[in-house]
Amino acid sequence: MAVTDEAMDKIKDMMVTGALKPGDGLPKEADRAADLGLSRNSLRAAVRALALINILDVRQGDGTYVTSLEPQLLLEALSFVTDFHRDDTVLQFFEVRRILEPSAASLAALRMSDEELAGLGLLLDEITPEASVEDLVANDLEFHRRIAAGTGNTVLCSLIDSMSAPTTRARVWRGLTQEGARERTLAEHHAIQAAMAARDPEAARAWATVHINGIEQWLRDAL
């Protein structure tokens, strides 16, 4: 094991055991290195790596602290990585969406408030089949974002959010090139919202599966 990896593992162990909690400051570098049995260079490298993935917060002139460790914060690194996807991997993002989003719709059907579900319907009413592709895609992204947030599961919400950006271009492409894509998208969104408003998680799951699968299948054919 590389010394930097060893240093990261030792810091992680301190968090897992509760020796370091969210918001805690780390001891001075010399004390840390001695306590962990590491060189100061390997410890510095580990701290830099953990800061990059939002585990630690290095405050110049103040010290190094454990972050809140909230899922949204820790999964930002995943969003950064997905921005570098290649065109030939976009289908894989749709496969992940097909796994995650029907489950999100099912959970949200039980967990969203009546007001939130009504707001979801009003969001859909803002768009007509004559709307521009850009407006339709923006509405589409917001629709799926609200459903993910409605699960109340911050990890699931963050994962779904990170899958949105790599598929945006494909959504625009479909809207521009596939006949009837706008009408189909709106109809499927309304069906998902209606199932959720009826508090029917299995119907919401089924319609979300149909929706994501339809886009994925179109893209497979187009490629």
Region of 23 (left: φ > 0; alpha: ψ -120 to 50; beta: rest) is: left
pLDDT at residue 189, as a whole number = 94
223: pLDDT strictly greater than 50: yes
Give me the residue spans of the domains in the chain. 3-69, 74-222
pLDDT tens column, 167-203: 766 676 666 667 777 888 889 999 999 999 999 999 9
Q: Comparing C-alpha atoms, which of 202, 199, 193 is closest to residue 127?
A: 193
pLDDT tens column, 93-104: 888 889 999 999
Does an H or E element contain 65, and which? strand 63-66
Share the mean pLDDT of the chain: 81
pLDDT tens column, 85-129: 445 577 788 888 899 999 999 999 999 999 999 999 999 999 876
206: pLDDT strictly greater than 90: yes
Percent of the chain with pLDDT over 70: 80
Task: Report residue 131 as tokens.
Answer: 């709307």
Q: Which residues contact 60 (CB under 8 A, 6 or more apart)?
A: none
pLDDT at residue 83, as a whole number = 46
**Burial degree of 81 (CB within 10 A; 0-12, 13-18, 19+):** exposed
74-222 shares the fold of 3-69: no
DSSP 24: P
Question: For 72-79, what is the mean pLDDT?
Answer: 54
pLDDT at residue 84, as a whole number = 43
Percent of the chain with pLDDT over 90: 30
Q: Regarding the domain delimited by 74-222, which CATH topology (the fold level of the hierarchy) does it fall under? A: Four Helix Bundle (Hemerythrin (Met), subunit A) (1.20.120)
Name the CATH architecture for the domain at 3-69. Orthogonal Bundle (1.10)
pLDDT at residue 81, as a whole number = 47
